[in-house]
Structure 1
């Protein structure tokens, strides 16, 4: 049996009777029809069992759309805030989860007090978007906890270090230490508080985990370490992953490779000033890592739907400015 999961940033999913952020930012009926038609086409093409959505303003419309496509179960945990003086203008987005299998339980993800103290976070903490944590019942009594996240963006373009595969965790921590202590990068501090809080929630979760997220940070970032790496939080001699990037658990095949090609270049999921970055991820627990002795299944496919970004890297409001990421798990027979 296979199960397919996806993360899908909808890029301002706001039905035309509302505006988002400012009065002029509003879809016409024709644009909304184009957008919802495109979303339906992509959901059908992805052929998934569970989808995590980001940038959701109009959750009722999204629930109706997904149920028309066979997703009988739908969850949100928050409502978008509106402008106090103009109640038809949304000023914050939410997350949503659609599933073809029953959602047994929705749980709250709380901020981790230790993490807030560690980063010297001042004021009242609130997740940029409240995470979804859903226990889903699959066939053969398999229960998986699915998280949907959308972490703090660097909207003000604050300086943040870019790391590579060669950079050690120790070096990354040392580089950002001053920026965190002196509040040079509030967005990074917020994001690390969010990802660290999720990490501690993962640790308490007893079932296998799938995490669908728009990380708003690049590959090899400290945010990924805070979200998945025990060594980031504990004094260990080597990296010990609590969750794994599903991309690296999928055995990719290279057909007719160039003699000097060492590895496949990862497909970007978002672009900034025409430069591609990977910021959308699917993380999985050890139960879906075939190297683990008691694994329940393996990653049998990892796909990035990005055709809509090839002609216009900035994306289109009637489509999306993110690629869609899909992960398939083949369960043990």
Structure 2
């Protein structure tokens, strides 16, 4: 059977006449809200995915309005602690969602230290970086695909690249050194969050290595960035003993984009454009259960589809993005998993 898994950054999905963040004015008028829900609904119908992870959901009702009138209207839906003021993650599934969890707290205190050669004559004493929470809670959902297959889907939205600047300074007035520091502050937070996700994933694998895992969401970094590679994990060193390599491979994830790229003659994979740079910020990773070279794989990635025609390059285009259209492309991965074997009927009259 084929299952389709998707990620969708809905960009500020809130009902009409409601402000978001610290704003005092409504983000959408009634007319704008109708256009936004219509656009998202049509995009979801085009994608035709079985499991969709969402980012930037402010209210559950807004997401339900997007599903109204579609075959997804009565699917299981879970939204991660919406407040109406700040964005959270969500998931909708054609298959039963049997368990959910939202992780708000980072699973460790990150300690920074430098190479001793770079800190002499001072000691390289670790310094704790006081970050305690994820920017948006990590959403975990266990989904029952069939009688034989239970998967874990992890929906992420890591810290954006927007610079963290001192109060009273904004991006338009900041000097370039101030912007550089602000960008690095955001990178540090996003990097620590990615380490937190890696810890959560490794704990899950240690607890049950047989359970397949899909990671999806807006990671706010290119797929080859250090932050994303921290989540995916490195291939084990080829000179390790075979038993150790097999054990470590269980902790390595596959980037669905890479698998698609190996099958394609050309690669035009992007989900976001900023200042003329085409980036793949929205990603889908699959656990080693779906790796082609895994002799014990339980399925495979068929292909990856992008829905990015609405993403505008404002360096080359005179068009302006409508407020109701999202600024990210959507990604859909098609996965093949075998059908469960039907029970063998008992033979009448059989004797031992």
Return the alpha-carbon distance in structure 2 between the equivalents of residues 108 and 154 of structure 1.
Answer: 23
Q: Which of 220, 240, 250 pairs up with 2:260?
A: 250
- 1:9 alignment partner in structure 2: 9
Equivalenced residues, count = 289
Q: Are 1:44 and 2:40 an aligned pair?
A: no
Where do 5+ consecutive residues of structure 2 fail to align?
114-126, 166-180, 340-352
Return the alpha-carbon distance in structure 2 between the equivalents of residues 103 and 68 of structure 1.
Answer: 21
Q: Are 1:76 and 2:101 an aligned pair?
A: no
Once the two structures are superposed, residues 36-85 of structure 1 have per-residue CA deviations (whole angstroms, 9 ceiling, x without a partner) of: 0111111111111110111111222213533643331111222236xxxx
When normalised by structure 2's length, the TM-score is 0.74
Q: Are 1:210 and 2:204 an aligned pair?
A: no
When normalised by structure 1's length, the TM-score is 0.78
CA RMSD for the aligned pairs? 2.8
Q: Which of 313, 317, 324 pairs up with 2:330?
A: 324
Distance 1:278 1:287, change over 3 A: same
Per the TM alignment, residue 225 of structure 1 is displaced from its structure 2 partner at its CA by 1.7
Return the alpha-carbon distance in structure 2 between the equivalents of residues 108 and 321 of structure 1.
Answer: 25
Taking the TM superposition and a 5 Å limit, the aligned residue runs for 1:228-307 are: 228-230=232-234, 242-250=252-260, 254=264, 264-307=266-309
Taking the TM superposition and a 5 Å limit, the aligned residue runs for 1:173-184 are: none
- 2:96 alignment partner in structure 1: 102
Return the alpha-carbon distance in structure 1 between the equivalents of residues 301 and 129 of structure 2.
Answer: 40
Return the alpha-carbon distance in structure 2 between the equivalents of residues 318 and 66 of structure 1.
Answer: 16
Q: Are 1:226 and 2:227 an aligned pair?
A: no
- Structure 1 or 2, whichever has the larger Rg, is 2
Check whether the contact 1:199–1:227 (CA below 8 A) recurs between aligned residues: yes
Return the alpha-carbon distance in structure 2 between the equivalents of residues 73 and 67 of structure 1.
Answer: 13
Distance 1:138 1:61, change over 3 A: same
